[in-house]
């Protein structure tokens, strides 16, 4: 075991199987190399399981049918979703989560307008 791992500063990439949506791991944001797999019956069950959480920072959908995956991703309440890969963030793209994962968005044109203070100066 490495020194970092022994000190508790490192988590091995972890795959959790046989998870159900009532388990803590399915109800919390996990910021690390951890993947919880929940079996489903397909169809509407996917969105129901994904949205049955108090968190919603980000998520991913993987499928051999990209159009189907896009439809499923659009039904999931999460701040960012990826389909068959990763998400690239641009400075003008809003970022934030749903429910316990955050209220509101940071970045993006709308956020910049909220933070902008206009001022008129005159000189004679």
Instruction: Judge if 45 and 69 occupy the same domain.
Output: yes
Residues 29 and 56 in one domain: no
pLDDT in tens, 1-23: 667 667 766 778 899 999 998 89
Residues 73 and 13 in one domain: no
In this structure, the answer to whether residues 76 and 24 fall within a common structural domain is no
pLDDT interval class at 113 (50, 70, 90): low
**31 lies in the same domain as 49:** no
User: pLDDT, tens digit, for every residue of 41-85?
Assistant: 877 888 888 888 877 777 888 889 989 888 888 888 888 888 988
Structurally, the chain folds into a number of domains equal to: 2
Residue whose C-alpha is closest to residue 37's, from 50, 52, 48: 50
Is 75 found in the same domain as 63? Answer: yes
Q: Are residues 53 and 85 in the same domain?
A: yes
The residue segments making up the domain with residue 7 are 1-39
pLDDT at 124: 45
């Amino acid at each position: 075991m490495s020194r970092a791992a022994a000190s508790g500063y490192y988590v091995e990439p972890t795959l959790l199987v046989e998870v159900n949506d009532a388990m803590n791991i399915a109800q919390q944001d996990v910021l690390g190399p951890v993947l919880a797999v929940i079996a489903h019956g397909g169809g509407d069950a996917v969105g129901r399981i994904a949205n049955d959480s108090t968190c919603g920072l980000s998520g991913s959908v993987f499928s051999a049918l990209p159009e189907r995956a896009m439809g499923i991703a659009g039904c999931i309440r999460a701040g960012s979703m990826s389909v068959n890969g990763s998400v690239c963030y641009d400075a003008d793209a809003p970022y934030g989560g749903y429910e316990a994962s955050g209220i509101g968005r940071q970045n993006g044109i709308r956020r910049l307008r909220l933070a902008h203070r206009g001022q008129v100066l005159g000189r004679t």
